[in-house]
Chains A and B, each alone.
Chain A
Amino acid sequence: MKNKVIVIGGGTAGMEVAGQLAKHDCTVTLLERSAETGGHVRDWYHLFPDRKDSREVINYLENLIRHKSISLFTDTDVNDIVRENDFFVVRTSDGKELQADAIVVSTGFDLFRSERKEEYGYGIYDNVISSADLEKMFRNDEIKLQNGNIPSKIGMVHCVGSRDEKVGNVYCSKLCCVTAVKQAIEIVKRIPEAKVFCFYMDIRMGGALYEELYKEAQQDYGVNFIRGKVSEVSQDIDNKLITKVEDTLTGRPLKIGLDMLVLMAGMEMAESGQKIALSAELDTGENRFFKATDLHYGSNKSNKNGIFYAGTCTAPMNITETISHARAAVIDVIDYLNDRSN
């Protein structure tokens, strides 16, 4: 008889896990709480560092899960997970009771809700948007202000909801810096006369080809990088966003009028993941993400034998890392299933 595995969460990690497990002779049930698989990648336009169209990744993933051993349930939330002797029972929001030999949790992340940093005026001022909103504008090919005008001065705020003790997230989301660089370039490409300012605390360019992209942004696209934290934003009568920044390189406060402000929202443990952590008694770290048994060689294993993690439900990751992490999870699952049948 084939082994059954349930994968919770149909984003990049979950789809990759499902596809690979099916290839390795498992019967997979993939549960997705929204109407569509694909997760956050669907909302993104181009991916860093090579500006690949995100649809290419989605196509790859969709092909991967088109497999006779994979059954997909969308609009399905997980209520709880119980272990019964040798197998697990997963109860879903629509009353299903599914059985499995192993479980992979790939609930991913939530984008930080920028309203929570009220001082930046998201949801209050017309032209304060989030990085996700900007991606949508790219996709629809219209970077416009609320009144239909084309913005000429645009600010990008780094570390919104990350590295911020006041909102309870002390960690770095790792991707927003390079996202800002990528988006800044994209803006200048579309609006050549636009001036873009990035307000950062540190620039973190730790991935393959990131630093090169950062250099390109400065040399070829004239993006301004200002080291300083945005303290508050207000709006004047002309709807200009008066942004106050402490320029920590020159040591002086800075006030700058902008047309549009883009908030680089950080990544947080998904709320759905937190619920599962509670009901299945899975360990989470101080940053609320799932806590794997070992940071070095056990990053896919949970504190419950037979339940595994894949992707950004354990920490912020880019797509390359997510896919690698998902594939690693598959090996752990297969190991576990083999050990059990011996």
Chain B
Amino acid sequence: MQFDPFVIPFNIGLYFILIYAVVRCVLWFRDLSRADKLRLQRGFFGRPFAKSLKEIFMESLIHRKILKSNFRLGYMHMSLAFGWFLLILFGTIEADIFGTRHLNPPYKAIFFKFFNPEHGRNGIEAFYAFIMDFLLAFILSGLLLAVIKRFSSRVVGMKKTTRLKTLDKVALTSLWLIFPSRLLAESFTSAAYDTGSFLTGSLGSVFASFLPVNELAYPFWWLYSISLGTFFILLPLTRYMHIPTELFLIFARNSGIRTGDHYGAFTEIQTYSCSSCGICIDTCQLNLSTGITDIQSAYLLKGIRNNEDVKDIANNCLMCGRCDQNCPVGIELTPIRMIMRREPETKSGDNGFFEKYFPSHVKIPVPKTNGSLVYGWLPAVKTTKAEVLYFAGCMTHLTPAIKKSMIKILDAAGVNYNFMDEEGGVCCGRPLMLAGKYKQARELINYNSKIIKQSGANILVTSCPICYKVFRESYYLNIDVYHHSQFINSLINEDVLRLRFLRKKITYHSPCELGRRSGVYAEPKEVLKHVGRLQLTRHEDENAYCCGGSLGNMHISYAQKKKIASDAAKDLTRNNPDILATACPLCKKTFSPVTETPVADIAEIVAEAIILSHPDKKNYSKVISLKEPVDISE
């Protein structure tokens, strides 16, 4: 059995990290809710497992998403991850085929050259040595980019790179040392035995001309092993923990586990999966427009990992969801932030050595109301029986042109509806949720739910995407919820709303809460195509900018919000549209003061285009339900 003491550091590191990973996974699994455990078990024996393997290959190794959004940055990640993976794979095969025995311990593959210095002289061996050299060169090229990125992030096409803590720096140094020390160790050994391919061979002969390669090789094999060992042992304490964690995340996500509003194992897995790539910093408008660079999701997750107080970071965010959309790891960043805005119940300082490796996590329970109707004293809202219930929302009451237009549209289409908050109503609850006040929000939700239930309506239409989101997700009602753009679209499709063409150029701003946060992109555009010429913008759908007026951020000043708004408006009106259309009263209010282009809600544009009486006027009967009705009678 071939052995040399220098492999010990590597062995310690390797077995430590393997055992650690297993223990951590078990702990995480234990902390999952019952339902999530089941999902995971089912996933393990089903399609999710295969799907995860594919995704791990594409994302964790190839880094396809980063490659697509930023080639140089993607190449850097790919060469390190995929290159290293191949090096280990080919190394193992090499040790198996060309080594003295089959089924070797892992160190044999890693330090193959040391134990088989004569290998690779000719024929198939030389070809194999060439491949191994090539892989090493591939990794080193990525490493070079990484080193440059540390000192100047612009080189890899990024505006900001993440800041590091001390342990990260030690781990980073050991990571950086791994491949150069392997290169030198292999080169020296090759030179001593006159083997090695294009990289290690040629470099070795250069060194041999002026250095005592024989004596130098051994210390560098030690260095190689120590760097690997150090890196493995420090890994759980540093951001490199994302490498093993991401694998678990991908599998959990494919098994159907979602963040929801619980802080639990899955949230924790996500916080550890962040690779600190910094893409979220680059896409955030708080950075682009106002130069705020310390609140982005990378820092939020880092703060959570380090058990710091993240209140200020969590609250200083537009909740626009642009970073979620761009995060290559697919972390549910905004839902996590929503949770972090709530009051944590326990907060433990993890200081001991053991706690550092196995931190106890924060508990942030979902607040509950005691069930009593807090707003019971409000005058009762009377509703007559009608198919459709219209809820304008507070913001729409502040933009009466939208409300007026909706009434005109509903009347023109002959919809039998009830105006729930005609006399003013109670807030939908979302603003309080965004402020982390779940309990108070639930009290509002309970109040509104009662009115909605009593109305007996089957369809709830709202003009405000903020209300739309909370009605859909946080009200437990058996009712179809439509945003008015969706409802208008179905009225047009049913042919109960006839519109003329306005001959105007329109650009559409997709509101965050309707688009990215609720996934409604198509219907508003469909509607606009009926009444005008829809122009495309540079940032469509999930890439749309936030208007800056977000209720989610009470930290920044009006001046800063205005800056974000005018930057976004400038981008939207580059093609000089006649109307800047949006589908949210808040966006309208935010954009109106900062652009010369008239800003209008979809409802206003449609109301203007209505052909009032057309001869064979049909009346709205019942719009096709969003949820396909299931017939179970026969």
B530-562 contacts to A, CB under 8 A, are 558, 562
Residue B589 is within 8 A (CB to CB) of chain A in the complex: yes
Interface residues in B400-414 (C-beta closer than 8 Å to A):
400-401, 403-404
Partner of B558, one of A121, A168, A232, A233: A168
Cβ B558 vs Cβ A165 within 8 A: yes
Q: Are A244 and B593 in contact (CB under 8 A)?
A: no
Q: Is the CB–CB distance between B398 and A118 below 8 Å?
A: yes
Bound Cα distance from A165 to B248, whole angstroms: 48
Interface residues of B in 576-634 (CB under 8 A from A): 588-589, 592-593
Q: Nearest Cβ in chain B — how far from A287, in angstroms?
A: 13
Q: Which of A125, A165, A167, A234 has the most CB of B within 10 A?
A: A234
Scan A39-72; emit 1 where CB is below 8 A from any B CB, else 0: 0000000000000000000000000000000000
Contacts of B401 in A (CB 8 A): 118, 124
Contacts of A116 in B (CB 8 A): 592-593
Q: Is the CB of B397 within 8 A of A232?
A: yes
A234/B592 in contact, CB under 8 A: no
Q: In the complex, which of the residues B398, B400, B401, B558 has the most CB atoms of chain A within 10 Å of its own CB atom?
A: B400
Whether B316 is near chain A, meaning CB under 8 Å from some CB there, is: no
For residue A284, give the distance in angstroms from its CB to the closest CB of chain B.
Answer: 15
Cα-based distance from A70 to B268 in the complex (angstroms): 79
Determine if B589 and A124 form an interchain contact, defined as CB atoms under 8 angstroms apart: no
Contacts of A165 in B (CB 8 A): 558
Q: Which residue of A lies closest to B590 (CB)?
A: A166
Q: Which of A233-276 contact B (CB under 8 A)?
A: 233-235, 242, 244, 255
Q: Answer yes or no: B424 CB below 8 A from chain A CBs.
A: yes
A119 pairs with B400, CB closer than 8 A: yes
> Which residues of the other chain, A, contact B562 by a CB distance below 8 angstroms?
168
Task: Render A168-181 as a binary contact track against B, CB cut-off 8 A, 1 for contact.
Answer: 10000000000000
- Judge whether B399 is part of the interface by a CB distance below 8 angstroms: yes
Task: Tell me which residues across on chain A come within 8 A of B403, comparing CB atoms.
Answer: 234
* In the complex, per-residue mask of A116-153: 1 if CB is within 8 Å of any chain B CB, else 0: 10110100110000000000000000000000000000
* Contacts A165-B558, A166-B558, A168-B562 given; does A125 touch B400 at CB 8 Å: yes
Contact B558 A234, beta carbon cutoff 8 Å: no
Chain A residue contacts of B589, Cβ below 8 A: 118
CB <8 Å contact, A168 and B593: yes
Q: Count the B residues whose beta carbon is within 8 Å of the partner chain — how many? A: 15
Contacts of B588 in A (CB 8 A): 118
A119 to B395, CA, bound (A): 9
* A81 CB to nearest chain B CB (Å): 24
**Do residues A232 and B593 form an inter-chain contact, with CB atoms below 8 A?**
no
8 Å CB interface, A203-237 against B = 232-235
CB distance from B109 to the nearest CB of A (A): 65
Q: Are B399 and A118 in contact (CB under 8 A)?
A: yes
CB closest chain-A residue, reference B594 = A168
Whether B593 lies near A118 (C-beta < 8 A) is: no
Which residues in A have their C-beta under 8 angstroms from that of B399? 118-119
Residues A167 and B593 in contact in the complex (CB < 8 Å), given A118-B399, A234-B397: yes
Chain B proximity of A301: nearest CB distance (Å) = 28
B404: chain A residues within 8 A (beta carbon): 124
How far, in angstroms, from A31 to B562 measured CA to CA in the complex? 34
* Residue of B whose beta carbon sits closest to that of A253: B424
**Residue from A118, A232, A235, A242 having most chain B Cβ neighbours under 10 A:** A118
CB distance from A241 to the nearest CB of B (A): 10
Give Cα distance in the complex from A119 to B397, angstroms: 7
Q: How far is the CB of B407 from chain A (nearest CB, A)?
A: 10
Docked Cα-Cα span, A93 to B404, in Å, equals 41
Q: A166-B558, A244-B424 are in contact. Are A233 and B593 (CB under 8 A)?
A: no
Q: A16: shortest Cβ distance to chain B, in Å?
A: 33
Q: How far is the CA of A119 from the CA of B398 in the complex (A)?
A: 4
Closest to A123 in B: B401
CB-contact partner of A124 in B400, B423, B558, under 8 A: B400
Of B423, B424, B558, B592, the residue contacting A118 (CB under 8 A) is: B592
A96 to B201, CA, bound (A): 81
B residues near A255, Cβ cutoff 8 Å: 424
Q: How far is the CA of A233 from the CA of B397 in the complex (A)?
A: 8
CA–CA, A233 to B404, complex, Å?
12
Separation of A166 and B592 alpha carbons in the complex (Å): 11
Measured CB to CB, the nearest residue on chain A to B557 is A165
Could you say which of A167, A168, A232, A235 contacts B398, with CB atoms under 8 Å apart?
A: A232
Determine the chain B residues whose CB is within 8 A of the CB of A167 once the complex forms: 593
| Contact partners of B397 in chain A: CB under 8 A | 119, 232, 234
A331 to B556, CA, bound (A): 45
Beta-carbon contact of A233 and B400 below 8 Å: yes
Name the residue on B nearest A235 (C-beta). Answer: B400
B423 (CB) vs chain A CBs: closest residue: A242
Closest residue of chain A to B394 (Cβ to Cβ) is A232
A-chain residues with CB within 8 Å of residue B558 when the two chains form the complex: 165-166, 168
Q: How far is the CA of A121 from the CA of B401 in the complex (A)?
A: 8
CA distance A39 to B65 in the complex (A): 61
Given the complex of chains A and B, what is the CA–CA distance between A213 and B390 in angstroms? Answer: 47
Bound-complex Cα distance A119 to B401 (A): 9
Q: Complex formed: what's the CA distance from A295 to B346 in Å?
A: 55
A167–B401 Cα distance when bound, in Å, is 18
Distance in Å from the Cβ of A12 to the closest Cβ of chain B? 28
Q: Which residues of A contact B592 (CB under 8 A)?
A: 116, 118
The contact of B400 among A121, A166, A244, by CB within 8 Å, is A121
Residue of A nearest to B592 (CB): A116
Residue of B397, B398, B399, B562 most packed against chain A (CB within 10 A): B398
Contact indicator per residue, chain B 158-191, by CB within 8 Å of chain A (1) or not (0): 0000000000000000000000000000000000
Measured between alpha carbons, how far is A166 from B562 in the docked complex, in Å?
9
Q: Can you name the residue of chain B whose Cβ is closest to the Cβ of A120?
A: B400
CA distance A255 to B424 in the complex (A): 11
Binary flags per residue of B386-399, CB closer than 8 Å to A gives 1, else 0: 00000000000111
Collect the chain B residues with CB atoms within 8 Å of residue A118's CB.
398-401, 588-589, 592
Query: Residue-by-residue, is A89-125 near B (CB-CB < 8 Å gives 1, otherwise 0)?
Result: 0000000000000000000000000001011010011
- The distance from the CB of B597 to the nearest CB of chain A, in whole angstroms, is 14
The answer for the CA separation of A244 and B398 in the assembled complex, in Å, is 11
Contacts of A242 in B (CB 8 A): 423
A37 CB to nearest B CB, Å: 28
Cβ proximity bits B415-429 to A, threshold 8 Å, 1 near / 0 not: 000000001100000
Identity of the chain B residue whose Cβ is nearest the Cβ of A125 in the assembled complex = B400
Question: In angstroms, how far is the closest chain A Cβ from the Cβ of B134?
Answer: 60
Min C-beta distance of B20 to chain A, whole Å = 53
A165 to B562 alpha-carbon distance, docked (Å): 11
- Whole-angstrom distance from the CB of A74 to the nearest CB of chain B? 26
Residue of A nearest to B401 (CB): A124
- Closest B residue to A255 using CB positions: B424
| Cα separation A191 to B397 with both chains bound (whole Å) | 31
B73 vs chain A, min Cβ distance (A): 38
Known A-B contacts: A118-B398, A232-B397. Give 4 more (CB < 8 A).
A118-B399, A118-B401, A118-B588, A234-B397
In the A-B complex, the 5 residue pairs with the smallest Cβ-Cβ separation, listed nearest first, are: A119-B398, A165-B558, A121-B400, A118-B399, A124-B401
28 contacts between A and B (CB under 8 A): A116-B592, A118-B398, A118-B400, A118-B401, A118-B588, A118-B592, A119-B397, A119-B398, A119-B399, A119-B400, A121-B400, A124-B400, A124-B404, A125-B400, A165-B558, A166-B558, A167-B593, A168-B562, A168-B593, A232-B397, A232-B398, A233-B400, A234-B397, A234-B400, A234-B424, A235-B400, A242-B423, A255-B424
Q: Please report A residues at the B interface, Cβ cutoff 8 Å.
A: 116, 118-119, 121, 124-125, 165-168, 232-235, 242, 244, 255
